[in-house]
């Protein structure tokens, strides 16, 4: 999905129509502040038709002007929300065009295939997808390798290589196979695909309010009730001093004093925040996840594929204990005969280049890698077994079988780890023959990215299954604050729980099935679209570009959302101070001449003062819509500096702007 402009003619036109539809009182009741304004509009409309229905007051002309201004105020607030919703719906419509009923080649038990509709596919079905065909539904590649065009979802034109095995076998329905053919095991039923969920998530109208938003809404309702009581008490007070206040003026005072600015923009700010995340090709499962990102204290990053490129490839075989190099080559290849991961294939390819020979023999069985054992290999007929894995895991495996540990194993392990490589020990039975030297490199610019997080006050922790020396080298090169080596899935969860127990919010990025538990435990879990289905289902955000460092943008957007809401709330409440000095003196200075001292703006007349404040109250909403949509610019700095900066700009600015604006409007009205 490409980034869209804040406003287009089509969006503005649609939002303008929806703004009128939202005038429905049932819809307006969901926003108590603006609903109060609508009730005020109804009262002033009645006074326009029958000026004396509530007793003596201003004429129909004055009441009519107040009604028009109130109507425009409501319309502007509705327009802001409709515009934010419209942007989400436009993205959803774009995705719906991608989602289409395609034909699928459903494989039968006899090896043949049957052409069926994609809507007839069920979880567990296996389909054949050939070059230039669309993948009918979400699934995992179980056989083959292919270039996949994911531009319909990610907006990126470059194809992505997907293959069976490992963490890059997940494919999304609606994407296109560019080359070769693949067999895909369907992992979702109709209506449950990733694309279906994306469509629902980007539609802003379905967005649930976040806890912070609910709390702020409660505050706004409380302020509205307080000012309603204040305005109601003015009636007996004014009667006591023989200064009757017209009902339309009381309505105008109430509307100006209640936080209509933030009340009209609150929903739009939240929707726009989620939309900004979407524009970065990140799908947020909820607004709560976006807000939580803004308060993140710690980020847990998986090393492979996140900090490093993730394509660890066999670079060399290093014999230990006097083992023959050719024998090590052969055994290393045998350990990887059943390993379909890119890493395993690189071992086989390197071994064959160095003279090893052999295919999968009859009766042999592959031993899959498990996070608990941290090793994999092959069991041959007759009881012979070969293994590769973490050095300490292989050492324990060999010791249990009565084998001895070569004296130079640790030294050569340290040498490879110090160079930033990953050492995998190779064993046959109770013998350790050598080490597979796997190479991986840190992604460019990672140090600068982590420095940026540090300026935000966020701690970075790298989790990896590598040994401590390799982990330390990569951590030093990347510039993370801390690292955890030889980490199992439960270790990642443990560090997240530890940080959370200290009152911190934690974010986690990952792409593998072994990352899923930690992604679910974290306050913000960002899964890679290229990763496994399990990872994407466990996370509350999915990055369509599969760029783990994008968590930095997500954090910045979360902070921007919170800052925007806080800034506009401060501005809205600060506005009331100036409106107070405009309206209160105007209401009473004819009956109480001493009130003239409060007319510090020297407004032309009581009616002009009230209308000027009311007009300013209306036009400030559309003027702030671009800021609500784009968000307050986030600059990495301490929380105290940010608070002081925003208080000055939006607090002091919120007091000064109405004084200037109301005075200018009053001068314009006095001309007429």
- pLDDT per residue as tens digits for the range 299-358: 988 777 677 776 678 889 999 999 999 999 999 999 999 988 878 888 999 999 998 888
Return d(Cα 140, Cα 169) in angstroms, integer: 5
Reported confidence tier of residue 2, pLDDT bands at 50, 70, 90: very low
Which residue has better confidence, 82 or 426? 426
pLDDT of 206 reads 46
Average pLDDT over residues 427-450: 87
pLDDT of 632 reads 83
Catalytic residues, which ones? 302
Residue owning tokens 């509205």: 224
Average pLDDT over residues 507-511: 83
Inter-residue contact 527 to 519 (CB < 8 Å): yes
587 labeled binding residue: no
pLDDT of 456 reads 78
pLDDT of 369 reads 85
Radius of gyration of the chain (CA): 33
pLDDT of 253 reads 85
Which residue has better confidence, 317 or 111? 317
Query: If you ran DSSP here, which 8-state letter would residue 188 be given?
Result: S
Reported confidence tier of residue 248, pLDDT bands at 50, 70, 90: confident
Return d(Cα 532, Cα 549) in angstroms, integer: 18
Quick one: which of 148, 143, 118 has its CA closest to 131? 148
What pTM was computed for the model?
0.64
Q: Domain spanning 295-307+443-544: which CATH class is it, in words?
A: alpha beta
Average pLDDT over residues 2-11: 58
Helix spans in 120-246 (H)? 151-154, 194-202, 211-240
Average pLDDT over residues 248-254: 86
Contacts of 597 (CB under 8 A, 6+ apart): 585
Reported confidence tier of residue 158, pLDDT bands at 50, 70, 90: low
511 labeled binding residue: yes
376 labeled binding residue: yes
Contacts of 132 (CB under 8 A, 6+ apart): 176, 177, 178
343 labeled binding residue: yes
Q: 365-374, 375-384, 432-441, 510-519: which range is least confident on average? A: 510-519
pLDDT of 427 reads 95
SS3 661: helix
374 labeled binding residue: yes
Instruction: With a cut of 70, say whether residue 7 has pLDDT above it.
Output: no
Torsion of CA 639, 641, 643, 648, to 10 degrees: -170
Return d(Cα 170, Cα 228) in angstroms, integer: 57
Inter-residue contact 572 to 259 (CB < 8 Å): yes
96 labeled binding residue: no
User: What are the CA-CA distances from residue 405 to residues 140, 324, 333, 389 (Å)?
Assistant: 40, 16, 21, 15
Q: 191-200, 339-348, 382-391, 451-460: which range is least confident on average? A: 191-200
Instruction: With a cut of 60, say whether residue 1 has pLDDT above it.
Output: no
Instruction: With a cut of 70, say whether residue 54 has pLDDT above it.
Output: no
Return phi, psi of residue 303, to 5°.
-70, -60
In the chain, CATH 3.40.1110.10 sits at 314-433
Return d(Cα 367, Cα 546) in angstroms, integer: 29
Return the percentage of the chain with pLDDT > 90, whole number.
20
Reported confidence tier of residue 40, pLDDT bands at 50, 70, 90: very high
pLDDT of 589 reads 64
Q: 99-103, 236-240, 497-501: which range is least confident on average? A: 99-103
pLDDT of 612 reads 87
Instruction: With a cut of 60, say whether residue 558 has pLDDT above it.
Output: yes
170 labeled binding residue: no
Return d(Cα 207, Cα 285) in angstroms, integer: 10
Average pLDDT over residues 652-657: 88
Q: Tokens standing for 357?
A: 């020979």
Quick one: which of 533, 510, 542 has its CA closest to 186? 533
125 labeled binding residue: no
Reported confidence tier of residue 161, pLDDT bands at 50, 70, 90: confident
pLDDT of 216 reads 83
pLDDT of 99 reads 58
In the chain, CATH 3.40.50.1000 sits at 295-307+443-544
SS3 76: helix
Topology of domain 314-433, per CATH?
Calcium-transporting ATPase, cytoplasmic domain N (3.40.1110)
Inter-residue contact 557 to 273 (CB < 8 Å): yes
Q: What is the overall mean pLDDT for the chain?
A: 82
Reported confidence tier of residue 205, pLDDT bands at 50, 70, 90: very low
User: What are the CA-CA distances from residue 615 to residues 72, 139, 618, 666 (Å)?
Assistant: 9, 57, 5, 10
pLDDT of 528 reads 81
pLDDT of 513 reads 74
Instruction: With a cut of 80, say whether residue 416 has pLDDT above it.
Output: yes
295 labeled binding residue: no
369 labeled binding residue: yes
Which residue has better confidence, 203 or 142? 142
589 labeled binding residue: no
DSSP per residue over 314-363, as a string? EEEEEE-TT--HHHHHHHHHHHTTT--SHHHHHHHHHHHHTT------TT
Burial of 536 (0-12, 13-18, 19+ CB in 10 A): buried
Average pLDDT over residues 509-536: 81
Return d(Cα 482, Cα 465) in angstroms, integer: 14
Beta strands in 476-589 (DSSP E): 482-484, 506-510, 524-528, 541-543
Return d(Cα 411, Cα 435) in angstroms, integer: 11
Q: 48-57, 133-142, 649-658: which range is least confident on average? A: 48-57
């Amino acid at each position: 999905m490409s980034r869209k402009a804040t406003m287009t003619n089509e969006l503005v036109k649609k939002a303008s129509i929806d703004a009128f539809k939202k005038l429905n009182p049932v819809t307006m009741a969901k926003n108590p502040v603006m609903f109060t304004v609508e009730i005020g509009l109804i009262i002033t409309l009645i006074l326009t038709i029958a000026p004396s229905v509530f007793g003596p007051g201003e004429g129909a002309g004055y009441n009519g002007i107040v009604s028009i201004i109130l109507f425009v105020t409501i319309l502007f607030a509705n327009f802001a929300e409709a515009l934010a919703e419209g942007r989400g719906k436009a993205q959803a419509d774009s995705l719906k065009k991608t989602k289409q009923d395609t034909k699928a080649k459903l494989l039968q038990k006899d090896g043949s295939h049957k052409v069926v509709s994609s809507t007839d596919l069920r979880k567990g079905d296996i389909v054949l997808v050939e070059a230039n065909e669309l993948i009918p539904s979400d699934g995992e590649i179980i056989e083959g390798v292919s270039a996949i065009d994911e531009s319909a979802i990610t907006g990126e034109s470059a194809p992505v290589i997907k293959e069976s095995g490992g963490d890059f076998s997940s494919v999304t329905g609606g994407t296109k196979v560019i080359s070769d053919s693949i067999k895909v095991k369907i992992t979702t039923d109709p209506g449950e695909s990733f694309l279906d969920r994306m469509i629902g998530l980007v539609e802003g109208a379905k967005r649930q309010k976040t806890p912070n938003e609910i709390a702020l809404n409660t505050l706004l309702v409380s302020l509205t009730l307080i000012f309603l009581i204040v305005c109601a008490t003015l009636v007996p007070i004014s009667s006591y001093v023989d200064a009757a206040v017209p009902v339309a003026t009381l309505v105008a005072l109430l509307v100006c004093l209640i936080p209509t600015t933030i009340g009209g923009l609150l929903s739009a700010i939240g929707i726009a925040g989620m939309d900004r995340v979407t524009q970065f090709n990140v799908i947020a499962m909820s607004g709560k996840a976006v807000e939580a990102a803004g308060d993140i204290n710690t980020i847990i990053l998986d090393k492979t594929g996140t900090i490093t490129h993730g394509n660890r490839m066999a670079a060399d075989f290093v014999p230990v204990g006097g083992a023959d190099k050719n024998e090590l080559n052969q055994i290393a290849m045998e350990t990887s005969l059943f390993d379909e991961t890119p890493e395993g294939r690189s071992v086989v390819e390197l071994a064959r280049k160095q003279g090893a020979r052999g295919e999968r023999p009859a009766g042999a069985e592959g031993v899959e890698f498990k996070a608990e054992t941290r090793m994999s290999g092959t069991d041959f007929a007759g009881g012979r077994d070969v293994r590769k894995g973490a050095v300490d895991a292989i050492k324990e495996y060999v010791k249990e079988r009565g084998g001895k540990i070569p004296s130079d194993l640790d030294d050569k392990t340290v040498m490879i780890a110090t160079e930033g490589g990953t050492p995998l020990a190779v064993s046959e039975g109770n013998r350790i023959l050598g080490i597979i030297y796997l190479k991986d490199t840190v992604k460019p610019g990672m140090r600068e990215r982590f420095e940026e997080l540090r300026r935000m006050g966020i701690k970075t922790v790298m989790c990896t299954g590598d040994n401590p020396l390799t982990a330390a080298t990569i951590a030093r090169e990347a510039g993370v604050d801390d690292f955890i080596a030889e980490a199992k899935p439960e270790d990642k969860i443990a560090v997240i729980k530890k940080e959370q127990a200290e009152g911190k919010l934690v974010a986690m990025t990952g792409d593998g099935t072994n990352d899923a538990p930690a992604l679910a435990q974290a306050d913000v879990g960002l899964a890679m679209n290229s990763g496994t289905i399990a990872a994407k289902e466990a996370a509350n955000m999915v990055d369509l570009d599969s760029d783990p460092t994008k968590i930095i943008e997500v954090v910045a957007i979360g902070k921007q959302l919170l800052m925007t809401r806080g800034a506009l709330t401060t501005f809205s409440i600060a506005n009331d101070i100036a409106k107070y000095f405009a309206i209160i003196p105007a209401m009473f200075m004819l009956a109480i001449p001493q009130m003239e001292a409060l007319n510090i703006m020297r407004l032309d007349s009581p009616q002009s003062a009230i209308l000027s404040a009311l007009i300013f109250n209306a036009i400030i909403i559309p003027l702030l819509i671009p800021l609500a949509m784009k968000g307050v610019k986030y600059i990495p700095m301490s929380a105290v500096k940010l608070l002081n900066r925003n208080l000055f700009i939006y607090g002091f600015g919120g007091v000064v702007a109405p004084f200037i604006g109301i005075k200018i409007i009053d001068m314009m009205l006095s001309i007429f």
